[in-house]
């Protein structure tokens, strides 16, 4: 299974962080997002943000 297959099968909408290529945000709930990276066949969680706007940093 490729990364793209996992995105489709799991229904994940990965959004790449423009400021940090290779890192993505994934919505976990309406108010929670995670910052993740792909590591081979694994998705590694780097941080969880209860207020999902925090995941994008200060604007």
DSSP state of 1: -
23 exposure class (CB count in 10 Å sphere: 0-12, 13-18, 19+) = middle
Q: Express each pLDDT in 3-23 by its tens digit.
A: 555 555 567 778 888 898 889
Q: What is the mean pLDDT of the chain?
A: 77
Provide the pLDDT for residue 50: 85
Instruction: Output the DSSP codes for 3-57.
Output: HHHHHHHHT---EE-TTSTTEEEEE-SSS-EEEEEEETTEEEEEEEESSGGGGG-
Provide the pLDDT for residue 45: 92
* Residue 19 vs residue 31, higher pLDDT: 19
Residue 27: name the closest of 4, 53, 58, 57 by CA.
53
């Amino acid at each position: 299974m490729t990364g793209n297959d996992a995105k489709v099968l799991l229904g994940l909408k990965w959004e790449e962080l423009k400021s940090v290529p290779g890192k993505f945000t994934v919505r976990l709930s309406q108010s929670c997002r995670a910052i993740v990276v792909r590591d081979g066949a694994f998705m590694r969680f780097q941080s969880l943000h209860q207020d999902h706007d925090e995941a994008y940093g200060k604007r």
